[in-house]
Amino acid sequence: MKSAPGKILTFVFGDYSDVLTPILRRLFFGNFMSGLGTGMTLSLLLVYLHDIRGFSNTFGGFVLSYMAVVAILLSGPTGWLVDKYGPKKIIIAGLLFEGTGVALWSIVTTHQQALLVATMSSLGTLMIWPPQTVMISRASPEENRQKVFALNFMLFNLAIGFGGIFAATIIREGNLASFQTLYVLDGLSYIIYLTVITSIKGDFRASPEEREKESVGYREVFRDRIFLKITSGGLIYTIFGYASLNGGLAIFITQHLDLSPKWVGIVLTANTVAIFLLQGTVLRLIFGLAVNRRWQNRQTNEWEEQVSFFDVTCWQQMAENVAESITKGTRVLVTGRLDQRSWETQDGDKRSKVEIVADEVAPSLRYATAQVSRNERREGFEGGGGGRSVANEPSGYDMDEEPF
């Protein structure tokens, strides 16, 4: 049985103990350390180039755009390298490039040097994230990947937040040495990640069956309409959200509000910690349901079984209660409405998926017992996504009556 602090952590962030393998723990630790370094310098590059090195804001914005263009142009070749040589070798090279690149920002004095270091840093970033994604995918079963990638995203944002606070304690307005210290520490964080990667055995290369399954080109990728919609939404978010935070916010704080660069780190921490705290709650809105059908084959007299998997969507307090009460492998009873989602694959085949929008979720008492704790009822609350409102309940039902 979990302690009270353990229950609180599970309620806020979800339970990830069932998906954390030793390899994933090391990958997450390494990524956390690189995130810590990233948080120290993420939003301070424009401040450093303008206030310390004397470059214009226009040139600083050009550097950020240049780094993005380099990453876009070379993303295809990077994917080919990952397929050919394996993700582990590519990420090792990327960590060396990135670690060296961010450390070299500390000695940049000319426009040419800035563009050279920006190129090296972009190549490093490009050679880290795709291989890292492949390694995490191949280190976790398909049914766990949603939780695995969510946890990795949560921890990386938490690390950026810690890095922002750490930067706020070091940075000094107009002080070259304090900025140089941050960039050197950022470079060292990638070396720590490199050490972790080299300690993991195996090259994470795909098996012949996986390579045949994954052997599709960009033409097939761009025929996937759902992928294009998600990518387009992400692009809009990045342009107007993340890019503004990474670039414009630092200039606004230091040049227009005339505040210390310390506040850049503090604001970044607030942003990333909010993401960290809410990620677990968002992920808990959807949980998986396996339905087993068992019958006896009349020809062989043997018992056979078929399993169907459904996603179950819960909202508001029901989502919180399910996250607190239901764990993986628990027998549950679910009532609600079926929602069918259809799409077309890159091969032009039509696919569909049935999801359950829950009205009620409860543990099965056929082979187990349960202890019920009543929540305070919220006014106007609808339990699930498709049920009746309180106002539409039969008049003979007393809402103040105990549920069990």
Examine the fold and report which residue of 258, 283, 308 is the final residue of a domain before the chain moves on.
283
Residues 76 and 16: beta-carbon distance below 8 Å: no
Q: How far is CA 369 from CA 238, 331, 335, 366, in A?
A: 48, 11, 20, 8
Last residue of a domain, one of 250, 283, 316: 283
Average pLDDT over residues 94-98: 94
Q: Are 127 and 93 in contact (CB under 8 A)?
A: yes
In this structure, the answer to whether residues 257 and 377 fall within a common structural domain is no
Does 269 share its domain with 346?
A: no
The identity of residue 124, as a single letter, is: G
pLDDT score of 56 more than 90:
yes
Note whether residue 253 is domain-resident. yes
Stronger pLDDT, 46 or 325, i.e. the higher one:
46
What whole-number distance in Å separates Cα of residue 89 and Cα of residue 82? Answer: 8
402 belongs to a structural domain: no
> Within this chain, do residues 205 and 67 fall inside the same structural domain, yes or no?
yes
Closest CA to 16 of 133, 147, 157: 147
Q: Which residue has the tokens 């370094």?
A: 37
Would 178 be classed as within a structural domain?
yes
Q: How do 303-313 and 350-363 pair as beta strands?
A: parallel
Amino acid type, 256: H
Residue 87 has pLDDT above 80, yes or no: yes
d(CA 381, CA 390): 7
pLDDT of the residue at 147: 77
**2 within a domain of the structure (yes/no):** no
Of 375 and 310, the structure prediction assigns the larger pLDDT to 310
% the chain with pLDDT above 90: 26
Query: Residues 145, 332, 357, 321: is their CA dihedral positive or negative?
Result: negative
User: CA-to-CA distance for 288 and 326, rounded, in angstroms?
Assistant: 11
Task: Supply the range of the domain harboring residue 121.
Answer: 10-283
Query: How many whole angstroms separate alpha carbon 360 and alpha carbon 349?
Result: 34
Asked if residue 266 and residue 225 are part of one domain, the reply reads yes
Task: Decide if 173 contacts 261 (C-beta within 8 A).
Answer: yes
Q: What is the mean pLDDT of the chain?
A: 79
CB 357 within 8 A of CB 384: yes
Is the per-residue pLDDT at 103 higher than 80? yes
Q: Is residue 393 domain-resident? A: no
CA 215/CA 80 separation, integer angstroms: 11
59 CB-near residues (< 8 Å, 6+ apart):
49, 111, 114
CATH of the domain at 52: 1.20.1250.20
Clarify whether residues 178 and 257 are in a common domain.
Answer: yes
Is residue 5 assigned to a domain? Answer: no
Read off the pLDDT of residues 344-384 as tens digits, 9 standing for 90 and up. Answer: 655 566 777 778 888 888 888 877 788 777 766 555 444 44
**Model pLDDT for residues 260-290, shown as the tens digit of each residue:** 999 988 988 888 888 777 776 666 555 666 6
212 and 316 fall within a common domain:
no
pLDDT per residue over 164-195, tens digit each? 999 999 999 899 999 999 999 999 999 999 99
Distances (CA, A) of 170 to 2, 45, 173, 302, 349: 39, 15, 10, 70, 56
What total number of domains does the chain contain?
2
CA-angle at 191, arms to 189 and 194, nearest 5°: 115
Whether residue 198 is found in the same domain as residue 112: yes
Q: State mean pLDDT over 26-40.
A: 91
At a CB cut-off of 8 Å and minimum separation 6, what does 396 contact? none
Residues 105 and 142 in one domain: yes
Instruction: Provide the token pair at 74.
Output: 């070379």
Burial call 356-366: b when 16+ CB within 10 Å, e when fewer: bbbbebbbeee
Among 1-5, 181-185, 273-277, 316-320, where is mean pLDDT lowest? 1-5
141's CB contacts (< 8 A; 6+ apart) are: none
User: Looking at the domain assignment, is residue 392 inside a domain?
Assistant: no
- In this prediction, residue 42 carries a pLDDT of 81
Please check whether residues 278 and 290 belong to one and the same domain.
Answer: no
Tell me the mean pLDDT in the region 120-124.
92
Residue 112: its pLDDT value, please? 95
Q: Indicate the length of the chain as a whole number.
A: 404
Is 231 within the bounds of a domain?
A: yes
User: CATH no. for residue 350?
Assistant: 2.40.50.140
| Statement to judge: residues 293 and 251 lie in one domain | no
Q: Is the pLDDT of residue 122 over 50?
A: yes
pLDDT band with cut points at 50, 70 and 90 for residue 222: confident
Q: Average pLDDT in the 289-294 region? A: 66
User: Do both 370 and 382 map to the same domain?
Assistant: yes
Residue 15: what pLDDT?
60
Whether 382 and 325 share a structural domain: yes
The answer to whether 123 touches 74, Cβ cutoff 8 Å, is yes
Continuous H helices in 109-224: 111-126, 129-138, 145-170, 176-199, 208-214, 218-222
The encoded tokens of residue 27 equal 């990958």
Q: Which two tokens stand for residue 385?
A: 């996504």
Query: Encoding tokens for residue 364?
Result: 């099965």
Quick check: 391 pLDDT over 60?
A: no
The H or E element containing residue 227 is helix 225-237
Whether the pLDDT of residue 95 is over 60: the answer is yes
What distance lies between CA 256 and its chain's CA centroid? 33
Look at residues 284, 278, 279, 275 and name the one whose alpha carbon lies nearest to residue 242.
275
pLDDT tens for each residue of 332-345 = 888 888 887 776 65
